Amino acid sequence: MNGVAGPPPSLESISTLVEKGAFEETLSALELVVDHLERGRLTIDESLAWYEAGLGLMRRCSHLLEQAELRISELDAGNSVRPDSDRMAGALDSWDADAS
């Protein structure tokens, strides 16, 4: 799985990531949790705890991506480029002159 290796983070450190983790470290922890679950060496209670931790990490990643998308949309809205009507008129005049 994408070269994921090593032990998963502790459930305590996952709680911290769910609350205030950066996207990259949260995604990396999520990949480790998924790898840990896929190995299948857990009791049902452990599996549920790790699955719940993974859901928290996934939600954090989704939230951070949504925030980034909103920020990009806001930046794009502030820099929207409208066609320059004078430039368009000049191009049309030039085209009309060429057609004559």
94 belongs to a structural domain = no
Number of domains composing the chain: 1
pTM above 0.95, yes or no: no
CA dihedral 82, 87, 91, 97 (to 10 degrees): 150
77 belongs to a structural domain = yes
- How far apart CA 86 and CA 45 sit, in angstroms, is 69
What is the tens place of the pLDDT at every residue in 20-79?
999 999 999 999 999 999 998 999 999 999 999 999 999 999 999 999 999 999 999 988
pLDDT of residue 34: 95
pLDDT of residue 97: 60
6 belongs to a structural domain = no
Contact 61, 26 (CB under 8 A): yes
